[in-house]
């Protein structure tokens, strides 16, 4: 058998990076080249790979994930891009890469987690991982239209002085102006068509902060989504000075994340996406700071299981939380 080399963090090596992208294309349909060229592949995404003659034949990537939970900083590793070329499978390469990573980060992290394909559920427990459950927070939007927009502005951190005037009780006039705001397009789609757009948005977003109770500061990973899968789903709400990444599925508004300079209520953001009588549910892609008024359900993506390792994450399921959807590597 040809000699196998084990290398890591080689993003500046043109040949190895191209081979890594080729294997990622074959395995997942992903290519990281545009992300790299835009400058978003930084030091928080590190491939650990098995290589033969400058050809990447197996890989496990490490993502440095700085989280803030309940006001306290945590440092986790998220493993991802786990792949082996077909002709080199069943040779223990993934095992050797995992063991290398564990040795490299021993005593340096608060926990390790990953999202695994359901076909490999027997593999990760061999390394001390255990299955974890995630929970999603959601609420019925049926009564949203009955609440004055001014209240949402206040709850979102704005005083609403220019909204809802002319009503003594702050109800009917506020609701009328709310409808006008929706119909007049107060939600602005952020155009991210080119690398220049991506860089401008990345520079801008550094002044804004995610609004959940369990948040991640990995800008490179956010921009992987913002420049790819979600580039048409990013919005700016001027009245709140907030960015939202959101989509609708049927009659559900999925609010993947909210970025604002001050604390902002997710429901206050949802108001601006809510044409009357068309949406029935708000579902969050993150754990809100204030869960009052929300219902909670177990969340599981198709063909995906969450595994966690380390004392810090042992109680993750009982905390009824979720890793932000835009933090999945």
Neighbours of 42 (CB within 10 A): 15
Angle (nearest 5°) at CA 220 between 186 and 117: 100
Q: Which tens digit of pLDDT belongs to each residue from 20-63?
A: 999 999 999 999 999 999 999 999 999 999 999 999 999 999 99
pLDDT the model gives residue 148: 42
Alpha helices by DSSP H, listed for the chain, are 14-28, 33-37, 93-105, 149-155, 172-183, 195-205, 219-226, 266-270
Provide the pairing of β-strand 281-284 with 130-132. unpaired
pLDDT the model gives residue 182: 44
Q: Which tens digit of pLDDT belongs to each residue from 217-236?
A: 889 999 999 998 899 999 99
pLDDT the model gives residue 312: 86
pLDDT the model gives residue 184: 45
pLDDT the model gives residue 215: 86
Q: Secondary structure of 212-277 in the HEC alphabet?
A: ECEEECCHHHHHHHHCCCCCCCEEEECCCCEEEEEEEECCEEEEEEEEECCCCCHHHHHHHHCCCC
Among 46, 49, 70, which residue's Cα sits nearest to residue 58? 49
pLDDT the model gives residue 143: 54
pLDDT the model gives residue 179: 46
pLDDT the model gives residue 1: 59
Neighbours of 243 (CB within 10 A): 23
- pTM for the predicted model, two decimal places: 0.83
Of all residues in the chain, the percent with pLDDT exceeding 70 is 85
Residue ranges for the chain with pLDDT beneath 70: 1, 142-185, 275-277
Question: Are the CB atoms for 61 and 47 separated by under 8 Å?
Answer: yes
Question: Are the CB atoms for 237 and 272 separated by under 8 Å?
Answer: yes
């Amino acid at each position: 058998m040809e000699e196998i080399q084990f290398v890591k963090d080689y993003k500046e090596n043109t040949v190895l990076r191209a081979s890594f992208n080729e294997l990622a294309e074959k395995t997942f349909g992903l290519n990281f080249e545009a992300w790299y060229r835009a400058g978003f592949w930084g030091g928080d995404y590190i491939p650990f790979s098995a290589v033969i003659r400058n050809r990447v034949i197996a890989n496990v990537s490490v993502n440095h994930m700085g989280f803030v939970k309940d006001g306290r900083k945590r440092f986790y590793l998220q493993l991802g891009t786990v792949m082996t070329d077909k002709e080199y499978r069943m040779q223990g390469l993934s095992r050797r890469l995992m063991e290398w990573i564990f040795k490299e980060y021993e005593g340096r992290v608060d926990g390790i987690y990953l999202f695994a394909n359901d076909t490999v559920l027997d593999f990760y427990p061999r390394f001390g991982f255990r299955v974890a459950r995630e929970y999603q927070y959601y609420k019925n939007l049926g009564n949203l239209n009955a609440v004055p927009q001014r209240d949402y502005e206040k709850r979102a951190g704005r005083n609403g002085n220019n909204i809802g005037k002319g009503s003594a009780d702050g109800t009917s006039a506020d609701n009328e102006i709310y409808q006008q705001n929706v119909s007049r397009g107060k939600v602005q789609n952020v155009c991210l068509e080119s690398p220049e757009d991506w860089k401008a948005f990345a520079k801008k977003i550094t002044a804004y902060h995610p609004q959940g109770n369990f948040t991640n500061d990995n800008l490179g990973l956010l921009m992987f989504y913002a420049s790819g899968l979600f580039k048409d789903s990013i919005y700016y709400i001027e009245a709140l000075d907030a960015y939202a990444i959101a989509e609708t599925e049927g009659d559900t508004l999925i609010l993947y994340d909210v970025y604002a300079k001050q604390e902002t209520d997710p429901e206050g953001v949802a108001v601006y996406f809510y044409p009357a009588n068309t949406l029935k549910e708000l579902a969050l892609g993150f754990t809100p700071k204030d869960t009052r008024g929300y219902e909670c359900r177990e969340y599981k993506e198709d063909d995906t299981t969450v595994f966690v390792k380390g004392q810090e994450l042992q109680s993750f399921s009982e905390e009824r939380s979720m890793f932000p959807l835009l933090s999945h590597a």
